[in-house]
Amino acid sequence: MDAGTHKYRMVNNLKNNARDIELDLNWLEKLIDTRILLTLKKECKYKSAFEITPHNFDADSSLYANFISHYNMNFSERLALILSLAPHVNPQLLDKFYIKNEKYDRGFTEFGGLKGIYHGGFIPTGETLIYILAGNNLELRFSLYQLFSEEHFFAKYNILKLDSTFESETQLSNALKISNEYLSFLTTGKEYKPDFSINFPAKLISTDYTWNDLILDSSTLKQIDEIKAFINHGNTLMNDWNLKLKLRPGHRSLFYGPSGTGKTMTACLLGKYTNKSVYKIDLSMVVSKYIGETEKNLSKVFEQAEHKNWILFFDEADALFGKRTKVEDAHDRYANQEVSYLLQRIEYFDGIVILASNMKSNMDDSFVRRFESVINFPMPKPEERIKIWEQGFSPACLLDKKLDLKALSNQHEISGGAIMNIIRYASLMTINKGSNTVSSKDIEEGIKKELIKEGRTV
């Protein structure tokens, strides 16, 4: 798709979504007016909110309309969706809930709602939704609780939920919150890509390299092909061949080997060539000494990643999934429970999970057995190292005639990442001298720096 076509589609998505969402906002306003009139026992043309039917959308009219059609949303589900959107797209519409109950000189309890820290308007809660739909009809109210169950598609696909951020006293007094992903998709038509934060301890990573730049052992490349095959044909395997009844969803792989051998680059390339976002979770940063915090931190990642077709790349996996702690006290026991819980999340995650470790021996054996593939990223052999040397330099530079790349490849057993650090250093020194010829002296100095960094003798 060229830039012009992409821009046209974006404009079209914005225009059509705005039109159809406005129609549903008008419907929401009628529902609120009707419910309030019924509560105040004032004259009203309707006896129930369910008499006010929403607009009958053509599923192809907008992304918003297609979303409603895709999930075959009933009256209550559609109302929940537009009510969760209202504070973001038309907050003043909900100001109607600020009317006072003259009998008690305060707001109406049944309206629910919260006052945000920064948001100036009315934030609807589960109680607000139930009130609009059912009023004081207890039987109807109880039947609507299923909208907030874990089995409902709202929760299963992380569309909307009752957010407990405010630590409300009752479940229904929690805010009705649409996820950032669906808020972005249903308004602008763009995929939401979360940033690293306390609420999402993962970073979106990518690469400008190609598969030709990845120099690996042939057996390693062959095993990577298995992951490619699952990404490309996993849906056929699970659904068309109906193996979802016998196999776990998703694919789990352990990448192990020294630093700089291509583990992160491979994860990025898998995402790049299959059009999937790759999120890197540095477990050494996420693991907390406080009981329960590690589980909470990583649960936030899994909740957002579910059903997104993302690749989750866990770096420094030994920090959490290493040899199990010998249980000596309650803290150790709880730490092991956290690991077991997170193993279950990984085991039943429907996307691609890749864990990286410097040494396979650091990992718990019972954990490793749960993986579909365990791939070794060894130090490159001399014939692989010379390819990395040869491909690493810029076409803009020349090499000192004294520089023997083959001899360097045979002499120094170093990783691809280390070689690129050396090339970077030598190239920078060359530019600093106002030259374009990389000297053997600068290469040798770069090698010394890398060996010292790794604690090896020069």
Burial 24-55 (b: 16+ CB within 10 A, else e): bbebbeebbebbbebbeeeeeeeeebeebebe
Which of 438, 412, 415 lies closest to 425 in space, CA to CA?
Answer: 438
What is the structure's pLDDT at 7?
45
How many C-beta neighbours within 10 Å does residue 207 have? 16
User: Locate tokens 């490159």: which residue?
Assistant: 380
Distance CA 261, CA 258 (A): 6
| CB 203, CB 246: distance < 8 Å | no
Write down the pTM of the prediction.
0.76
- In this predicted structure, what is the pLDDT of residue 331? 47
Burial class from Cβ neighbours inside 10 Å (0-12, 13-18, 19+) for residue 245 reads exposed
d(CA 153, CA 158): 8
CB atoms within 10 A of CB 113: 20
Q: Residue 372, Cβ neighbours under 10 Å: how many?
A: 15
Give the rounded distance of the alpha carbon of 129 from its chain centre.
28
The conformational region for residue 105 under phi > 0 = left, psi -120 to 50 = alpha, else beta, is left
| pLDDT in 10s for each residue of the chain, 458 residues | 444 444 435 557 888 999 999 999 999 999 999 999 999 999 999 988 899 999 999 988 899 999 999 999 999 999 999 999 999 999 999 999 999 998 898 999 999 999 888 888 999 999 999 999 999 999 999 999 999 998 999 988 889 999 876 555 788 999 999 988 899 989 988 877 888 877 788 899 999 999 999 999 999 999 999 999 999 999 999 999 999 889 999 999 999 999 999 999 999 999 999 999 999 987 777 776 555 677 777 888 888 888 888 999 998 887 776 655 454 544 454 456 656 767 788 888 889 999 999 888 777 777 788 889 999 999 999 999 999 999 999 999 999 999 999 999 999 999 999 999 999 999 999 999 999 999 999 999 999 999 998 888 76
What is the distance between the alpha carbons of residues 395 and 359, in angstroms, rounded to a whole number?
36
The amino acid sitting at 234 is G
In this prediction, residue 6 carries a pLDDT of 41
C-alpha distances (whole Å) from 425 to each of 60, 346, 417, 449 are 55, 39, 12, 9
